Amino acid sequence: MSKVDLDLASLNLLLQRVRRHPGDRPTRLRAAQDVAIVAQLTAESVEGDKLLAEAASVARLLSRALDRANKSDHLSMTDIAAINAWIDKLQSLLLRAITRPS
């Protein structure tokens, strides 16, 4: 993970805030920016780390859900459900990445 300069713990906390307060647009916007960084990771940039590669794949889907929610004035229940589902999946991967030995 030397080429990837990410603070996964901070991203995890930000995603928890989005999950607790999905109507907070500024938090969603900040989360969308941070998730986009993870989503842009490629197989080469994670140096064969399958956990980060899977996190990048899930982050792409969460990024789409956040972008859709951020474009509308009012969140629909479908948007909230999609965001929460992808946050749950990404958080499980982030927690595994954070707690694993270096």
DSSP class per residue in 30-95: HHHHHHHHHHT--TTTTTT-HHHHHHHHHHHHHHHHHHHHHHSSS--HHHHHHHHHHHHHHHHHHH
Name the percent of the chain lying above pLDDT 70.
92
Across 74-102, average pLDDT: 92
Better pLDDT: 81 or 73:
81
Q: What is the CATH number of the domain that holds 88?
A: 1.20.120
Q: Residue 101's pLDDT is what?
A: 82
Number of domains in the chain: 1
Does any domain span residue 2? Answer: no
Asked if residue 3 has pLDDT above 50, the reply is: no
For 31, the domain range is 8-99
CB 1 within 8 A of CB 46: yes
Does any domain span residue 39? Answer: yes
